[in-house]
C-alpha cells in the first residue's frame, strides 16, 4: 500500500464539492481510502483513525489523505485529485478579479448579491452566516451541527434586518427557479413552499411537477425551525414573504412533526393566500395526500402517481427494515407502516466526517447487504446535488437482496427533468426486482401489505 498525505494551506472548497471529490477518488482504480476535506479537528481525527500520519493543520487548510494499492495507482489518483479540484475552482480568464473577496460582505458588494449560501463545517457557520445577515443578505445555511442558540441569534437578527435565514441544516431551496443544495428540476408556477424539511419538500414539489403544477419559490427554514426552542421564527417570515409575492397563489407548509404550540401559532398567522399544511404526525395527512389537496384547491385533476410493480413474487410476512437518506421521508414511512425498524442515514450521527447518503450510498449498501429476510423500504432522491446515477450501485444490491428472498420497495423522488432520468432510474431498479413508487406514502403502504400488517 502507498499513502499520500498533504495539507494545502489556504485552499477552500465547499463541503458538497469535497464530498464529490472524495467519492470520485474512492471509485478510482486501486484506491482503498480517500479523504479530501477541510482540515477540521473532526476530519483530522478521521484521517488519523484510518492510519494516516497527519501533520499539523488549521480549519482553513485542505486535507488530502489517499491510500492506494501501489505507487502507480497513487500517482494516478493524485492526478485525478488535481483534475477534480481544478474543475471546481472559480472560473478565471478575461474580466476575472485579481483576488477573490475574502468575506461574505465584500463578496455581496462585488457581485450585487441578495442571497448567500453557507456550506462550511458547523463550528464556523455562525460567523459566516452572521456576516451575510449584517451585509443585508438572506442566507441559506447548508451546514449542520450548528448550536440551536446560534440559530436563534441569527434568526432574530435576520428579522431585524428584514432578511431570511434558511437553516441551519437546510438542504433544499429554490428561489426564482434557481435550485440551492439538493434540488429537483421544477417547472415554474404558482405554488410557494415553506419547508422545515429538505426531502419532504422535494417529495411535495416533485409530485406537483408530475401533475403539471409549478413552483414559484421553495424556502427551506431548517429542520429545527418548528421546534419549541426556535418557535417558527423563519417559518413565519417565509410565509409572510410568500403571502406578499405576486407570483405565488397558494402556499404549502411542509414539516416533520412540529412542536404542537408552534404549529398552532403558525396556523393562526393571518395570511391573505390559502395555505395547505403538510405537517406530519399521528392522524395528520401524509405528503401525497397534502399534494392532492393542493391540486384540488387549484382545480387540477389528481393523476395516477407513477409506479412500477415488482416482477418477482412478493414475500409475505417477515420484518420490515426502512433504510432512508431523507429524514422526513423516513418519519412519514415509519408513521404509515406502523411497525418495523427505520434508520435515517442522513442524520447527523451518520454524516459526521462523511458524505450525505444522497451522495454516497456506502452505509446504506452495507445495511442492505446485511438484511436476510422480510422487506426493505428505501428512498432514492434525484435532482441536482444528489448521486448522478444512484441505480448504478443500488440496482446490483437490490438484485442480490431479491435473490436472498428479500422484497425491496423503493420510493423514487424526482421529476422528468432531473439529470439522472426519473424513468430510467425507475426501470433499472425495477428490473433488479424492486417495486418502485414515486409516492413515498404509497411505497410505505405497499411495504406494510407485504409484511402482512393489518
Q: Are the beta carbons of 379 and 326 closer than 8 angstroms?
A: yes
The model's pLDDT over 114-166, given as tens digits with 9 standing for 90+, comes to 999 998 878 889 999 999 999 999 999 998 889 999 999 999 999 999 999 99
Q: What is the pLDDT of residue 319?
A: 93
**What number is the average pLDDT over the span 296-311?**
96
Going across the sheet that includes 275-279, the strands are 178-181, 172-175, 215-220, 188-196, 250-255, 275-279
Cα-flanking dihedrals φ and ψ of residue 28, to 5°? -75, 145
d(CA 289, CA 318): 28
Domains 99-169 and 307-450 share a fold: yes
Going across the sheet that includes 115-118, the strands are 115-118, 138-141, 165-166
**pLDDT band per the 50, 70, 90 thresholds, residue 364:** very high
DSSP 3-state of 275: strand
* Count of CB atoms situated within 10 Å of the CB of 233: 22
* Residue 173: all three cell numbers together: 431551496
The model's pLDDT over 423-441, given as tens digits with 9 standing for 90+, comes to 999 999 999 999 999 999 9
- Min mean pLDDT across 254-263, 345-354, 411-420 is at 345-354
Q: Is the per-residue pLDDT at 97 higher than 70? A: no
What is the DSSP track for 287-323?
Answer: HHHHHHHHHHHHT-PPP---EE--SSPPP-SS-EEEE
In this structure, CATH architecture of domain 189-303: 3-Layer(aba) Sandwich (3.40)
99-169 topology per CATH: Rossmann fold (3.40.50)
- Min mean pLDDT across 30-44, 101-115, 194-208 is at 101-115
**pLDDT band per the 50, 70, 90 thresholds, residue 222:** very high
Domain parsing of the chain, residue ranges: 2-87, 99-169, 189-303, 307-450
Right CATH for 2-87 from 3.30.110.70, 3.40.30.10, 3.30.70.60, 3.40.1710.10: 3.30.70.60
Q: What is the pLDDT of residue 321?
A: 97
Average pLDDT, the chain: 91
* Residue 144: all three cell numbers together: 449542520
Please state whether beta strands 172-175 and 178-181 pair in parallel, antiparallel, or not at all (unpaired).
antiparallel
Amino acid at each position: 500500500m502507498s499513502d499520500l498525505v498533504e495539507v494545502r494551506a489556504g485552499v477552500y472548497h465547499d463541503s458538497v464539492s469535497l464530498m464529490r471529490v472524495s467519492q470520485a477518488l474512492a471509485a478510482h482504480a486501486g484506491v482503498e481510502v480517500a479523504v479530501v476535506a477541510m482540515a477540521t479537528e473532526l476530519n483530522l481525527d478521521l484521517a488519523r483513525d484510518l492510519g494516516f500520519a497527519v501533520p499539523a493543520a488549521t480549519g482553513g487548510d485542505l486535507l488530502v489523505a489517499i491510500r492506494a494499492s501501489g505507487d502507480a495507482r497513487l500517482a494516478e489518483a493524485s492526478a485525478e485529485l488535481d483534475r477534480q479540484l481544478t474543475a471546481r475552482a472559480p472560473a478565471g480568464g478575461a474580466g476575472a478579479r485579481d483576488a477573490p473577496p475574502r468575506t461574505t460582505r465584500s463578496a455581496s458588494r462585488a457581485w450585487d448579491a441578495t442571497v448567500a449560501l453557507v456550506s462550511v463545517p458547523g463550528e464556523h457557520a455562525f460567523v459566516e452566516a452572521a456576516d451575510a445577515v449584517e451585509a443585508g443578505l438572506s442566507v441559506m445555511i447548508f451546514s449542520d451541527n450548528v448550536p440551536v442558540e446560534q440559530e436563534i441569534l441569527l434568526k432574530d437578527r435576520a428579522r431585524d434586518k428584514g432578511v431570511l435565514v434558511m437553516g441551519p441544516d437546510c438542504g433544499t431551496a429554490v428561489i426564482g427557479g434557481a435550485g440551492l443544495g439538493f434540488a429537483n428540476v421544477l417547472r415554474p408556477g404558482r405554488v410557494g413552499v415553506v419547508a422545515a424539511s429538505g426531502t419532504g419538500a422535494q417529495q411535495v414539489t416533485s409530485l406537483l411537477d408530475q401533475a403539471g403544477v409549478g413552483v414559484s419559490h421553495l424556502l427551506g427554514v431548517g429542520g429545527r425551525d418548528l421546534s419549541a426552542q426556535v418557535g417558527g421564527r423563519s417559518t413565519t417570515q417565509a410565509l409572510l414573504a410568500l403571502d406578499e409575492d405576486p407570483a405565488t397563489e397558494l402556499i404549502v407548509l411542509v414539516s416533520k412533526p412540529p412542536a404542537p404550540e408552534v404549529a398552532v401559532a403558525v396556523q393562526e398567522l393571518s395570511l391573505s393566500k390559502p395555505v395547505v399544511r403538510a405537517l406530519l404526525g399521528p392522524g395528520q395527512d401524509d405528503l401525497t395526500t397534502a399534494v392532492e389537496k393542493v391540486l384540488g384547491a387549484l382545480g387540477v385533476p389528481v393523476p395516477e402517481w407513477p409506479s412500477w410493480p415488482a416482477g418477482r413474487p412478493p414475500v409475505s410476512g417477515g420484518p420490515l427494515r426502512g433504510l432512508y437518506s431523507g429524514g422526513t421521508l423516513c418519519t412519514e414511512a415509519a408513521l404509515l407502516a406502523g411497525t418495523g425498524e427505520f434508520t435515517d442515514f442522513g442524520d447527523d450521527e451518520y454524516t459526521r466526517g462523511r458524505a450525505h447518503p444522497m451522495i454516497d450510498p456506502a452505509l446504506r449498501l452495507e445495511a442492505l447487504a446485511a438484511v436476510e429476510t422480510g422487506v426493505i423500504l428505501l428512498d432514492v432522491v434525484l435532482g441536482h446535488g444528489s448521486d448522478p446515477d444512484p441505480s448504478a450501485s443500488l440496482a446490483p444490491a437490490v438484485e442480490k437482496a431479491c435473490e436472498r428472498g428479500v422484497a425491496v420497495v423503493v420510493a423514487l423522488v424526482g421529476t422528468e427533468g432531473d439529470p439522472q432520468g426519473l424513468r430510467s432510474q425507475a426501470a433499472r431498479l425495477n428490473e433488479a426486482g424492486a417495486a418502485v413508487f414515486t409516492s413515498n406514502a404509497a411505497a410505505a403502504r405497499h411495504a406494510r401489505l407485504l409484511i402482512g400488517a393489518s
